[in-house]
Amino acid sequence: MGTGILVLVETDGGVPRKTATELIAKATALGLGPVSAAVIGPVDASSLGGVKVYQVESAQLAHYSTGATVKALQALVAAADPAVVLAPASLNSKDALPRLAVRLGAGLAVEVTDLRAEGGQLVGKRPIYAGKALVDVKVAGLGIFTVRPNSFPGGVAPAGSAQIVAVDAGITAADVDTELVEVLAPASKAVDLTEADRIVSGGRSLKSKESFDAVVRPLAAAAKATVGASRAAVDAGYAGHGDQVGQTGKVVNPSLYIALGISGAIQHLAGMRTSRVIVSVNKDPEAPIFQYTTYGIVGDLFEIAPLLQKELAAH
């Protein structure tokens, strides 16, 4: 069994996502041995601090492919030889890491929201039963933990310059199991929901796409937040599926979650219950979401939202 912690770094155009700094800083604070990072493709490692960075580059890895990615990750883990692997709980992780765990004979703990060292072993805390309970998770042998973004905000990578170590994963065209047909850039420049620190979500009570756009989006802009939506709002055509928060949408973990006209069905709560501060606006004082709300406002969202927007814009 290896030593230390290996952090899998995801990038956007060669720039590490903020989850990289969060996880490297947390891994360093745990004190469970040396911390290193692993990346696929080109990377600007200046934000990763003084860690050793294992890197696989290949023309076949220019775009995500399950087979090629898993093979590259296997080579990176073999080169770093860690006791623990940390990764963001992202779409690609959900696809690749279960396969990687099988190949390595490793344990896999997903969607953890906290990590601690206990007796020289890593212990993760994760929500279960749609967030109704929290459990501690330990892994015997090599352990792979995926962590929800924003679980450790404000982390700073260790001082110094990263040392890049090139790893040859032997990737060939035969490892690429998908064909890229087209890449469509998102129209919005907002931070992705899964990494957003602030989110304003609207529900079916907005009554129309026009009302959703007129109420939710301006409030989100004033709060410097990303727009989200309940499944009911998405099904009604008020917002796209990429904006959906919940069990069949995206799981989010922001510091602030504002819910407008969302009743709080268990499927929605499963996607946002771990938010640090939840502000809910609903006309129904018995709405289930109020049981999990930090600050609840019983009232008409069409009256309350503009008032919130005015106050936020003033600050």
In the chain, what are the domains? Answer: 5-175 (3.40.50.620), 193-313 (3.40.50.1220)
What is residue 57's predicted lDDT score, i.e. its pLDDT? 95
Q: Could you tell me the CA-to-CA distances from 244 to 199, 201, 271 in Å, in that order? A: 11, 9, 9
What is residue 115's predicted lDDT score, i.e. its pLDDT? 97
What is residue 134's predicted lDDT score, i.e. its pLDDT? 92
Q: What is the pTM of this model?
A: 0.86
What is residue 156's predicted lDDT score, i.e. its pLDDT? 77
Query: HEC string of the chain?
Result: CCCCEEEEECEECCEECHHHHHHHHHHHHHCCCCEEEEEECCCCHHHHCCCEEEEECCHHHCCCCHHHHHHHHHHHHHHHCCCEEEEECCHHHHHHHHHHHHHHCCEEEEEECEEEEECCEEEEEEEECCCCEEEEECCCCCEEEEECCCCCCCCCCCCCCCEEEECCCCCCHHHCCCCCCCCCCCCCCCCCHHHCCEEEEECHHHCCHHHHHHHHHHHHHHCCCEEEECHHHHHCCCCCHHHEECCCCECCCCCEEEEECCCCCHHHHHHHCCCCEEEEEECCCCCHHHHHCCEEEECCHHHHHHHHHHHHHCC
What is residue 191's predicted lDDT score, i.e. its pLDDT? 81
Give the span between the Cα atoms of 64 and 306, in whole angstroms: 42
Residues in the chain, pLDDT under 50: none
What is residue 180's predicted lDDT score, i.e. its pLDDT? 85
Quick count: other Cβ atoms within 10 Å of Cβ 3? 12
